[in-house]
Structure 1
Amino acid sequence: MNRYSFVAYIPNRPGALNLASGIITELNGNINRIHYDRQIDSQTAFFEVTCSEEAYEKIKERLSSIGFLRNSLKSLPFLKFSVNLPNRAGALAEFLDIASDAGAYIGSIDFDDTGSFPETVFVSMNLEEKHRADELLDSLKNHYKIDIIEYDTTGTSLDKTVFYVMFAKKLRRYIGNDDDDFLINFLKDINHTVQELTKRGDNPDEVFENYILCGDFLNKTTGAGFYADVQEIEITPDMTLFCFQLPGGGSIFVFDYPGETVMIDTGYGIYSDDARKMFSYYGLDIDKKLKFMIVTHGDADHCGAGGAYNVPAYMHPTTLEIIKCGNRAWGSRNENSILEKVYTKMIALFSRWNPPSEENTRLLPENSQENETGFPVLAKIPIGGLEFEVLLSRGGHQAGQLIIFCPKAGLLFTADTLMNFSSFSDDRRRYNSIADFLVTSVNVDSELAREERKKVLVMALGYEERTGKKCLICGGHGTVSVLDEDKKLKTYGNVEHYVHK
Structure 2
Amino acid sequence: MNRYSFISQVPTSPGSLQRGVSIITDHHGNINRIHYDRKIDPHTVFFEVTATEDGFARIREELAAIGYLQTSITPLSTLTFHVFLPHEPGALDTFLTYIAGAGAVIGKIAFDDTGSHPDRVTVTIIVEESGPADELLGMLTARYPMEVIEYDRTGEHLDDTVFYLRFAQKMRTLIGRDDDEFLLAFMADINHTAHELTNLGEDPKAVFRNVLEAGEYIRETCGDGFYADVQQFEASEEVTIYAFQLPGGGNIYLFRTLDGLVMLDTGYAVYHPDVMRMLPAYGLNLHEGLSRIIISHGDADHCGAGGFFDVPALMHPATLAIIRSGNRAWGSVNESLVLEEVYTTMIALYSRWHPPAEENISLLPKESEVKRSIFPVLGTTTIGDLTFEILLSLGGHQVGQTILWCPEKGYLFPADSLMNFSSLTPERRRYNSYADYLVTSVNVDSDLARTERKALFAMAQEYERDCGEPCTIFGGHGAISFYATGTMEIAGEMEHYTHRDGRGAPASPGGEER
TM over 0.5: yes
- 1:95-494 correspondence runs (5 A): 104-108=104-108, 124-128=124-128, 130-131=130-131, 152=151, 154-156=153-155, 157-485=157-485, 487-494=486-493
Name the counterpart of 1:30: 30
| 1:362-419 alpha-carbon deviations (Å, 9 max, x no partner) | 1101100000011000111111122110000011101111111011111100000010
Q: After TM superposition, give the deviation of residue 22 of structure 1 in Å.
A: 1.6
For 1:480 and 1:194, locate their aligned partners in 2 and report how far apart those are by CA, in whole Å. 36
What is the number of equivalent residue pairs in this alignment?
A: 496
Q: After TM superposition, give the deviation of residue 314 of structure 1 in Å.
A: 0.7
Q: 1:232 to 1:136 in 2, by over 3 A?
A: closer
For 1:106 and 1:40, locate their aligned partners in 2 and report how far apart those are by CA, in whole Å. 20
Q: 1:106 to 1:268 in 2, by over 3 A?
A: same
Matched, 1:14 2:14: yes
| 1:236-274 alpha-carbon deviations (Å, 9 max, x no partner) | 122111111111110011111112211111111011121
Q: After TM superposition, give the deviation of residue 14 of structure 1 in Å.
A: 2.5
Instruction: Tell me the secondary structure at the aligned position of residue 235 of structure 2.
Output: strand
Name the counterpart of 2:62: 62
Instruction: Tell me the secondary structure at the aligned position of residue 280 of structure 2.
Output: helix
Q: After TM superposition, give the deviation of residue 167 of structure 1 in Å.
A: 1.1
Q: 1:180 to 1:273 in 2, by over 3 A?
A: same
For 1:317 and 1:402, locate their aligned partners in 2 and report how far apart those are by CA, in whole Å. 11
Q: After TM superposition, give the deviation of residue 279 of structure 1 in Å.
A: 2.0
Structure 1 letter corresponding to 2:365: P
Name the counterpart of 2:508: none
Q: 1:441 to 1:30 in 2, by over 3 A?
A: same
Which of 230-239 and 356-365 deviates more?
230-239
Structure 2 letter corresponding to 1:52: T
Is the Cα contact below 8 Å between 2:461 and 2:484 reproduced in 1? no
RMSD of aligned Cα (Å) = 2.8
Q: 1:393 to 1:42 in 2, by over 3 A?
A: same
Report the TM-score when normalising by structure 1.
Answer: 0.91
Is the Cα contact below 8 Å between 1:175 and 1:349 reproduced in 2? yes
Name the counterpart of 2:510: none
Instruction: Tell me the secondary structure at the aligned position of residue 212 of structure 2.
Output: helix
For 1:76 and 1:386, locate their aligned partners in 2 and report how far apart those are by CA, in whole Å. 59
Instruction: Tell me the secondary structure at the aligned position of residue 69 of structure 2.
Output: coil
Q: 1:147 to 1:227 in 2, by over 3 A?
A: closer
For 1:141 and 1:54, locate their aligned partners in 2 and report how far apart those are by CA, in whole Å. 52
Which of 490-499 and 76-85 deviates more?
76-85
Q: After TM superposition, give the deviation of residue 130 of structure 1 in Å.
A: 4.8
Instruction: Tell me the secondary structure at the aligned position of residue 378 of structure 1.
Output: strand
For 2:216 and 2:138, locate their aligned partners in 1 and report how far apart those are by CA, in whole Å. 40
Q: 1:358 to 1:177 in 2, by over 3 A?
A: same
Is the Cα contact below 8 Å between 2:305 and 2:355 reproduced in 1? yes
| 1:25-52 alpha-carbon deviations (Å, 9 max, x no partner) | 1222111111111211112111111111
Q: After TM superposition, give the deviation of residue 470 of structure 1 in Å.
A: 1.6
For 1:173 and 1:377, locate their aligned partners in 2 and report how far apart those are by CA, in whole Å. 44
Q: 1:113 to 1:48 in 2, by over 3 A?
A: farther
Is the Cα contact below 8 Å between 1:107 and 1:161 reproduced in 2? no
Is the Cα contact below 8 Å between 1:78 and 1:150 reproduced in 2? no
Is the Cα contact below 8 Å between 2:313 and 2:361 reproduced in 1? yes
For 1:462 and 1:85, locate their aligned partners in 2 and report how far apart those are by CA, in whole Å. 87
Q: 1:287 to 1:139 in 2, by over 3 A?
A: closer
Q: After TM superposition, give the deviation of residue 200 of structure 1 in Å.
A: 1.2
Q: After TM superposition, give the deviation of residue 176 of structure 1 in Å.
A: 1.2
Name the counterpart of 1:496: 495
Q: After TM superposition, give the deviation of residue 147 of structure 1 in Å.
A: 6.0
Q: 1:232 to 1:444 in 2, by over 3 A?
A: same
| 1:176-201 alpha-carbon deviations (Å, 9 max, x no partner) | 11111111111111111111111211
Instruction: Tell me the secondary structure at the aligned position of residue 50 of structure 2.
Output: strand
Q: 1:444 to 1:109 in 2, by over 3 A?
A: same
Report the TM-score when normalising by structure 2.
Answer: 0.89
For 1:491 and 1:254, locate their aligned partners in 2 and report how far apart those are by CA, in whole Å. 18
Structure 2 letter corresponding to 1:232: Q
Instruction: Tell me the secondary structure at the aligned position of residue 288 of structure 1.
Output: helix
For 2:332 and 2:88, locate their aligned partners in 1 and report how far apart those are by CA, in whole Å. 67
Q: After TM superposition, give the deviation of residue 149 of structure 1 in Å.
A: 5.5
Is the Cα contact below 8 Å between 1:77 and 1:130 reproduced in 2? no
For 2:135 and 2:283, locate their aligned partners in 1 and report how far apart those are by CA, in whole Å. 63
Q: 1:131 to 1:456 in 2, by over 3 A?
A: closer
